Structure 1
Amino acid sequence: MSDHVPDHGIARAFVLAAGLGKRMRPITATVPKPLVEVGGRALVDHALDRIAEAGIGEVVVNVHYLADLMEAHLVRRAGPPRITISDERERLLETGGGVRKALPLLGEGPFLILNSDSFWLEGPRPNLQRLVAAWDPERMDMLLLLASAATSLGYEGAGDFQMDKDGRLARRAEREVAPFVYAGVAITTPAFFADTPEGPFSLNLLFDRAAARGRLHGLRLDGQWLHVGTPEGLRDAEERVRTSAVQP
């Protein structure tokens, strides 16, 4: 990968595309979830297009489930960003373990992490551009893109985080309802993965570490997050895109 660093200091991104997509079955029995289409385009292509639009030219994509299909699709893709594969065929490493394995491909600077199925309708300014502009390593170990639990389409949970006036995040307490849900996009640094376990682990481990230090921050998504987790959620997202004047 090249060492060109854009003005905002984030040159690379990691796209999580290795999961089994169990909740999306039967669709994902034969198609990996990142290749499921919304608005006539695969979810992973929406993610990669947004990364390129944010000025990030290098991306690592991990593969595990139906990995040959994923690789074939990514090879056919034209235009930026430049893609490198992190191969997890032998063992699914979960979100945190997948990033950790790919660290040698990601360089030493801060990088973006994006779930391949994270999908939203944009507001006036693209959200990845807003997120990279808000990143401040002096104050943050991690910066998360957060959606409103109340206005997200297809989300029925109790929320993930409370956010104070300075953007610092705290976990939702048990039996509490929180206004914000993690929208599947984060910025962090390779150094923050020091002392993480070998093998599979969740990014939640790092969310909690950052929160304990008062260095987990959030940025509210401008637009509408569409939770494409099930076949029903996919149908609802398709309808929302079809009826929206805002392009995904």
Structure 2
Amino acid sequence: MRAMILAAGRGERMRPLTDHTPKPLLPVGGKPLIVWHIERLAQAGIREIVINHAHLGQQIEQALGDGRQWQVDIQYSPEQTALETAGGIAQALPLLGEQPFLVVNGDVFTDIDYATLALPATSALPEAKLAHLVMVDNPPQHAQGDFALEYGLVKETGEHKLTFSGVGVYHPQLFQHVVRGQPAKLAPLLKTAMQQALVSGQHHTGIWHDIGTPERLQQIDAWLNTTKNQGDA
């Protein structure tokens, strides 16, 4: 299975940190945020990775190169202006192939086991589903949640909503009507698929943080450094 890391966001809420550094390269726990994803994807046996970028994208390419230092193959999908999530994925489809692929938001920190989603490649999309979403408990900044998870299906409405983690497996057909090069949001595509019971899901109860503000970045950085120091003691 191939994977895509979404790294094209401007990171407005992270300013001024992102004025000169793209958000995926901001350091957390001693290394760029995006490197945590690359390392975990490599550990899961995923060797082909696509990264999209827009704002200060050349810095990302210069920092990560072709991925050989992590024993992966990185290809890039540059965008003149950010195309939103679905638009960015649609733009990168020629690099992602015709089989289901894993997508990870570049601005989350998580211990989700990517191997459980990728091996075998089609296991996360049973019964010809178009998407499989990893859901998490609602964080304080998003207490209302996104979607409900009931009997393995993700639904737009429900009594107990969870938050979409930004990690999912998608079939290329989900994006067949997205015009390449045009901005497009992911949520409308998912909601349409949900209405046809074509979106499955799972609930992850481990570590997950949306690093959307300088304060949350600082908190995760401090926690990781404390954890690392305790491990060295």
- TM (norm. structure 2) is 0.88
Number of aligned residue pairs: 225
Corresponding letter in the other structure for 2:176: A
| Helix, strand or coil at the partner of 1:223 | coil
Aligned counterpart in structure 2 of residue 100 of structure 1, from 90, 95, 99: 90
Aligned counterpart in structure 1 of residue 115 of structure 2, from 115, 124, 129: 129
More helix by share: 2
Q: Distance in 2 between matches of 1:196 and 1:137?
A: 23
The yes-or-no answer on 1:168 pairing with 2:153 is yes
Corresponding letter in the other structure for 2:175: F
Aligned to 1:181: 163
Q: Distance in 2 between matches of 1:82 and 1:30?
A: 26
**Conservation of the 8 A alpha-carbon contact between 1:155 and 1:227:** no
Q: Distance in 2 between matches of 1:51 and 1:241?
A: 19
The yes-or-no answer on 1:193 pairing with 2:175 is yes
Aligned counterpart in structure 1 of residue 127 of structure 2, from 112, 133, 138: 138
Corresponding letter in the other structure for 2:20: T
Aligned to 2:23: 33
Q: Distance in 1 between matches of 2:152 and 2:55?
A: 36
Shift of residue 171, structure 1, vs aligned partner = 2.1
Aligned to 1:23: 13
Corresponding letter in the other structure for 1:180: L
Shift of residue 220, structure 1, vs aligned partner = 1.4
Corresponding letter in the other structure for 1:17: A
Q: Distance in 2 between matches of 1:163 and 1:142?
A: 13
Structure 2, gaps ≥5 residues long = none
Give structure 1 regions of 4+ aligned residues with deviation exceeding 2 angstroms: 130-134, 154-157, 239-247
Shift of residue 82, structure 1, vs aligned partner = 0.5
**Conservation of the 8 A alpha-carbon contact between 2:148 and 2:154:** yes
**Conservation of the 8 A alpha-carbon contact between 2:28 and 2:217:** yes
The yes-or-no answer on 1:236 pairing with 2:227 is no
**Conservation of the 8 A alpha-carbon contact between 2:3 and 2:50:** yes
| Helix, strand or coil at the partner of 1:138 | helix
Aligned counterpart in structure 2 of residue 75 of structure 1, from 65, 68, 77: 65
The yes-or-no answer on 1:47 pairing with 2:37 is yes
**Conservation of the 8 A alpha-carbon contact between 1:15 and 1:116:** yes
- TM (norm. structure 1) is 0.83
Aligned to 1:221: 204
The yes-or-no answer on 1:148 pairing with 2:137 is yes
Corresponding letter in the other structure for 2:195: A
The yes-or-no answer on 1:87 pairing with 2:69 is no
Corresponding letter in the other structure for 1:63: H
Q: Distance in 1 between matches of 2:223 and 2:155?
A: 31
**Conservation of the 8 A alpha-carbon contact between 2:147 and 2:161:** yes
Identity of aligned residues (%): 35
**Conservation of the 8 A alpha-carbon contact between 1:127 and 1:222:** no
Aligned to 1:157: 143
**Is 132-141 or 102-111 further displaced after alignment?**
132-141
| Helix, strand or coil at the partner of 2:81 | coil
Q: Distance in 2 between matches of 1:76 and 1:87?
A: 14
**Conservation of the 8 A alpha-carbon contact between 1:146 and 1:221:** yes
Q: Distance in 2 between matches of 1:53 and 1:37?
A: 20
Shift of residue 240, structure 1, vs aligned partner = 2.7
Cα separation, partners in 2 of 1:127 and 1:155, compared to 1, 3 Å: farther
| Helix, strand or coil at the partner of 2:127 | coil
